[in-house]
Amino acid sequence: MHTKNFSALFPALLCVYLCHAQNLTPTVTLIAPANGTIFQQGQTIGLTANANDPDGTIDKVEFYQDGQLIGEASDAPFDYQLGFTPPGVYSFTAKAFDNKGASKVSTAISVTVNAQPFAFLSTPTNNSIFQGTANLILLARVGDTDDRITKVAFLQNGIVVGEDSIAPYSLSLSNLTPGPYFFAVQAFDSRGGSGISTPAAVLVNAVPVVQVGGPQNGNTYPLFSTLNFEVSATDPDGSIKKVEFYLNNAKVGEDSIAPYEYEYAGNTYGNYSFFARATDDLGGIAASSPLNFVINAPPIVAIASPSTGAKYTPGSVLTLQVSTSDADGVVSRVEFWQNGEKLGEDNDSPFTFIINNLSSGGYIYAAKAFDNFGASSTSSPVAVIVNAPPNLLFQNPTKDTTILQSRPLTVKLDANDPDGEIIKVELYLNDVKVGEDGQPPYAITLNNLPLGVHKLKAKTWDDIDEPKESKVINLTVSTMTSTRDIAYRELQFFPNPVREKLYLMGLNEATRIRIYDAVGRMVQESTTRSELDVQALGVGRYWLITQDGQRASFVKL
């Protein structure tokens, strides 16, 4: 009975022994990531394993990187998150353990961790300021330690505005409106990696707006004109720091407080160009359009003929002649003026004007010259007198006369002026003034005249001081008691002129002969009928008078 019972228990005991000795190993597979997956540097690598045990349970799963245990998981799903992993190619495996200690290693997978490209914005630099409507060139500096760069994108305020796939990597931007900008570059490699630069802050500054007012562009101004330039300068996004003024490209002044003004004294003739240049608070500079103008020197004009004080008679012809010059141009015409009224003009050099048939009176002439810019100047005036000379005649005596020395002579003169009045009349004896009269009738009495032959003449002046001389009358002063007894005969003699002796003709007897000099003084007296010795007389003209009234004149050499 006991043997039979043992035989019945044996299969069961054998099964327990054999079944325990044949424990099945678990199965394990890395299902993530897939073999050949590429991760970018900095990404977390999540490892996930699928593990099963056909005759028990999974106790844990270990994860290996290049044969080194890096972590484990004891609960399904079996996964492990790998932190920072340097760039490179890695082999990962999973090892599953069941509840009976059996284990299994999965097939290895290969994973690549890709190094990210680096990127820098070389140009422009951070905090750069550009003026006006800017044209920028963005220049990138990029690289990759384990791959090649496939392209570079350029970002403006976070938006891609262009890209370049060929080194050197650059992008040109034009007509940027004023304002702030942030520029960056992003480099891409062939494995999908990318690196972006630190953004660079850039300011595009609106330059000032400048306009020049005051004088008109293209105008011509006279020499010594004062020109006031008024400059309008504003800044759309800031303030004006200063305004500089330039004349013919040379700085002549500046102003830092509005209104911006510059005064120019045009004391030098020539062509000029004026502009203003404004600077704002961010260094933006803008210049106005040039304002061009001319400072013109006026012409110079003078009356060359007649000269002031010139005198003409009525009916004369007067030719006005001028001399002209112009320092920076030409004289285009000359106007001629008489007593404030225009007579006419001449457009061709030499500039002249003819006045016919002058009437009596006083005239003031001037000339006004114009140059090719229209500037003018007037000459100094020239005063001219047109005057008819006075008339003067002897009324008494009217011709050559002999008077007794003992008797006074009243000389009467007729003096008148056709276009004015007589101021005075003067009487001359032998060119020596012996009297004058200022009121008509003009009469002058001569007393105690010396013996001899005298020259009598008169001179008068009109109201413009024009003189007139009368003809000369010969006056003989004699001692004869009666002029009715004088026989006026011409005494005959020779030679004349004489040096030593005069030889007389026609005298029947010895006769007293007196010799008078030119002023009526008796200088010699002798009695003769044939010759006179005159060696002692000085050089000059003399008169001979005989006692019976014969007379003649001679010249002593």
Mean pLDDT by 10 residues, the chain (557 residues): 47 47 90 95 94 94 96 94 93 96 95 95 94 88 94 96 95 92 96 94 94 93 94 93 96 94 93 96 94 95 94 93 94 96 94 94 95 94 93 89 85 90 93 92 90 91 88 84 42 86 83 85 89 90 82 85
Nearest to 47 by CA among 26, 33, 66: 33
Q: What is the number of alpha carbons within 13 Å of residue 289 lying toward its C-beta? A: 7
What would the DSSP string read from start to end of 91-132? EEEEEEEETTS-EEEPPPEEEEEEPPPEEEEEESPTTEEEES
Q: Which two tokens stand for residue 503?
A: 């030889």
For 128-173, the DSSP string reads: EEEESSEEEEEEEEEE-SSS-EEEEEEEETTEEEEEE-SSSPEEEE
The two three-digit tokens of residue 342, written as one number: 């225009």
Residue 360 CB burial class (10 angstroms; 0-12, 13-18, ≥19): middle
Domain ranges of the chain: 23-114, 118-205, 209-296, 300-386, 391-478, 487-556
CB atoms within 10 A of CB 135: 11
Quote the pLDDT of residue 481.
37
pLDDT score, position 490: 61
CATH number of 209-296: 2.60.40.10
Q: Which CATH number fits domain 118-205: 2.60.40.10, 1.25.40.10, 3.50.50.60, 3.10.450.50?
A: 2.60.40.10
What would the CATH number be for the domain defined by 391-478? 2.60.40.10
Instruction: Give the pLDDT confidence score for residue 16 in this predicted structure.
Output: 45
- Please provide the distance, in angstroms rounded to a whole number, between the alpha carbons at the two ends of the chain: 224
Q: What does the pLDDT read at residue 480?
A: 58
CB atoms near residue 56 (< 10 Å): 16
23-114: CATH homologous superfamily? Immunoglobulins (2.60.40.10)
pLDDT in tens, 313-359: 999 999 999 999 999 999 999 999 999 999 999 999 999 999 999 99
Q: How many angstroms separate the CA atoms of 408 and 446, rounded?
A: 6
When the candidates are 2.60.40.10, 3.30.70.1450, 3.40.50.300, 3.40.640.10, the CATH number that belongs to 300-386 is 2.60.40.10
CATH superfamily of 487-556: Immunoglobulins (2.60.40.10)
Q: Residue ranges of the alpha helices (H) in 353-463?
A: none
pTM of whole model > 0.95?
A: no
Q: Under 8 Å CB-to-CB from 506, ≥6 apart: which residues?
A: 491, 492
| Helix and strand counts by DSSP (H, E) for the chain | 1, 52
